[in-house]
Amino acid sequence: MKLHALCASAVALMLVSAPAKAEMDNPTVKFVVRGTMALVVATMCDNYEQPDGSVQRYADRLGVDFDTYAPATFNAMRAQINGLKYEREALIPEVTRVVAATMDVMDKASKPWPAKKKQWCSYYGGIIVDETGMLTAKGSAPKAKGDL
């Protein structure tokens, strides 16, 4: 009986002393927002492409855990679109909320579509090309930031 009480006390102490789940830090939020923008632009705009490894390089540059936040971002995007399958176990609620808000802003900015498509693609594509390197304009060489 004493052993059960001791184990229960130890578990209760661990639960009480465990730190609360921290909110995402600024670099992680930036990665999720820009990653969402990059995938939407790559999907919606014909004149952009994603260089191999560019998303992981951007995460590394920001110091973000790519293996956690890239799948969470991708699956959160898929969860926003009716009919697409996604891996529920990869979702992180904070990421899903940021993805949903980002996609909502981008969707509102695209109205009326297709009249604004060229301007919309140029605006959002330009941000991603210039700030992240996750996309390049088709037919152009990727920018070599930091190359010596």
pLDDT band at 113 (very low <50, low <70, confident <90, very high): confident
Question: Does pLDDT of 111 surpass 50?
Answer: yes
- Confidence at residue 18, expressed as pLDDT on a 0 to 100 scale: 36
Cα–Cα nearest to 29, from 128, 107, 129, 99: 99
* pLDDT tops 80 at residue 19: no
| 84-112 burial code (b ≥16 CB/10 A, e <16) | eebeeebbbebbbebbeebbeebeeebee
- The residue to which tokens 């999907």 are assigned: 43
Q: Which two tokens stand for residue 8?
A: 């229960």
pTM, rounded to two decimals: 0.77
Share of the chain above pLDDT 90, in %: 67
pLDDT, mean over the chain: 83
* Whether the predicted pLDDT of 115 surpasses 90: no
